[in-house]
Amino acid sequence: MKASEMFAALFVLVYSGSYATLAGEGKKEDLECTCENSYCVNDTCWGQICYYTSVHERIDRGCLSSSEQCYVPVVPGVYSKCCFTHLCNANLSMPETTVGKPIKLILLVGVPLLVLSMAVCGLVYWLRTKRQHRPLVEHETSMLKGPCGGDPTYGDIFDEYCTSGSGTGLPYLVQRTMARQISLAHCVGKGRYGEVWRGTWMGESVAVKIFSSRDEQSWFRETEIYNTVQLRHENILGFIASDMTSKNSSTQLWLVTHFHELGSLYDFLQDSTLDPEGCLRMCLSITSGLVHLHTEILSTQGKPAIAHRDLKSRNILVKRNGQCCIADLGLAVIHSQSNDYLDVGNNPRVGTKRYMAPEVLDESIRVDVFESYKQTDIWALGLVMWEITRRTNVNGIVEEYRPPFFDVVPSDPSFEEMKKVVCVDQQRPSLHNRLHSHPILSTIVKIKKECWFQSPSARLTALRVRKTLSKLDQDHDYDIDKLKLDL
């Protein structure tokens, strides 16, 4: 892909399922348009507007459902036009006067932008390196000690220059052609939702989550949230694009994100151990991501509050700097206090039973109150912290990885089995004595216990957890520096 294609924000579509009709008869007032792209069912479609687009000789014709979706900036190598009569886009083509200009425009505009982008990337990299924590002490994963701890290099450039304005990925026109530009390398994970593949795009590794047809609503939900909510945060998985493609006569639903080679926290903890500082770094980063989700930001490009509803170690990825980022927003709930709006989605899939809070298991949760969903996230956060602390080495003692409640329920517990353990017997995961002998871990133990209160309203908030962990991190850094001075 040429550099100018990265800036081809031709059509801004706030994803809300409001596509034009791709086949069949439209409404009486709709236009019939020539349809020539990967979404076409027939040679024509119906909508309010017809459009023609040429991106470096790649032609795209179709229809849009509203005039708000037509935005045509001046971009080198790109020509587009909207029209408003039946089949008006059938014979449109790029004017001859524009054909010879792209190279000159790229030299005049593209090169300075490229230099500026490289300078910005260099500054961001330097700042991140300055902020870098001490290396994570772990077991047979030396790649964690690498100096680069951030997202892939294209992440900052895309979010700075190529967003659609409301979301955190690429412009919609670029998204809708992603599947044709990505080369899948190998499968890195499978689950009930589908598969995750490592792919290559523009010379960089990306993660491609391919949803199964039965989990279509999760794909729609994640796509909707990522394309309409400003979610850019170092502890939220970076979104690139969402696409629908056809493979072997079947439709595939793709979600393209940044790739993290260490995989999920669940996979990482199987073979790797942590020191107390590494444990604190992971817990703090996960909590920071959750705070960003839970917080409503009131500004021009703000965001509503979001509750995850399926927080677990399999839905958290480990970055090379020892921090984590939260993934999988297929069950997320959205709330805007400013206009009293609560959107729970229409996904029939429930969360993971092992991580369900008592009020979910006994069905006493107040489903019309957004705060209730945040409180279930806090319960799950405490369980994730428990998984991390089990794999933390204190005085040479470390426990094998086990999932929460491994000693009281089977590997795939039923709803009723979890309800009996958590609600009736009110059991909590056991805590090893070694955790109380270290100042960092003893504080995390206290936090976990306050995340596991039976009463949802008594639990800590994500913001309170982050403040406590941040202070612990600052105090520990001070102690280390003081020790160096004394020596």
H/E stretch holding 334? strand 333-336
Q: How far apart are CA 20 and CA 61, in angstroms?
A: 13
Residue 179 tokens, joined: 């599947």
Instruction: Examine the residue annotation and report whether 310 is marked as an active-site residue of this protein.
Output: yes
Q: How far apart are CA 144 and CA 147, in angstroms?
A: 8
Q: How far apart are CA 409 and CA 420, in angstroms?
A: 10
44 three-class SS = strand
Give the residue from 259, 237, 257, 212 showing the smallest Cα distance to 332: 237
Alpha helix locations (H) across 324-394? 358-361, 370-390
Cβ neighbours around 337 below 10 Å, total: 12
255 three-class SS = strand
Distances (CA, A) of 52 to 62, 223, 230: 7, 25, 29
DSSP characters for 108-141?
IIIHHHHHHHHHHHHHHHHHHHHHPPPPPP-SS-
Cβ neighbours around 30 below 10 Å, total: 18
Instruction: Please report, as a single letter, which amino acid is at residue 166.
Output: S
Per annotation, catalytic residue among 30, 243, 310, 328: 310
Q: Radius of gyration (Cα) for the chain, nearest Å?
A: 25
Distances (CA, A) of 94 to 5, 67, 87: 16, 21, 17
Q: How far apart are CA 434 and CA 319, in angstroms?
A: 27
Q: How far apart are CA 479 and CA 476, in angstroms?
A: 5
64 three-class SS = strand
Active-site positions? Answer: 310
